[in-house]
């Protein structure tokens, strides 16, 4: 199983290991986790449901990160940006 994962993601070519990549993924998640709190909090000021915004932010982040991992085979985590939040009108 581990050999198949290594072959798919070509860890040996990149001179890395599954352990290193898992630790890097956990570290990346911890540095990006703030978006799960901040983005729904800002957008809820427009009248949208905070719970729905949290779920949407989490699902969108998960989906695009998985696409980047399994289709592009690149170790990039993606999440909605907060720059465009400034364009939404506040109630």
- Report whether pLDDT(48) > 70: yes
Rounded mean pLDDT of 18-28? 91
pTM of the model: 0.79
Q: What are the distances in angstroms from CA 65 to CA 45, 49, 58?
A: 27, 24, 11
Q: How far apart are CA 35 and CA 14, in angstroms?
A: 29
Q: How far apart are CA 38 and CA 32, in angstroms?
A: 11
Confidence of residue 23 (pLDDT cuts 50, 70, 90): very high
* Residue 85, Cβ density class (10 Å: 0-12 exposed, 13-18 middle, ≥19 buried): middle
Residue with tokens 């898992």: 22
Which range of 12-16, 42-46, 58-62, 83-87 scores highest in mean pLDDT? It is 58-62
């Amino acid at each position: 199983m581990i050999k198949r994962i290594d072959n798919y993601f070509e860890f040996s070519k990149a001179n890395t290991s599954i352990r290193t990549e898992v630790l890097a993924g956990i570290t990346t998640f911890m540095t990006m986790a703030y978006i799960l709190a901040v983005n729904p909090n800002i957008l809820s000021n427009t009248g949208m449901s905070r719970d729905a915004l949290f779920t949407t932010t989490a699902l969108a982040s998960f989906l695009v990160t998985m696409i980047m991992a399994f289709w592009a085979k690149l170790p990039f985590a993606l999440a909605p940006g907060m720059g465009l939040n400034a364009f939404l009108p506040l109630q």
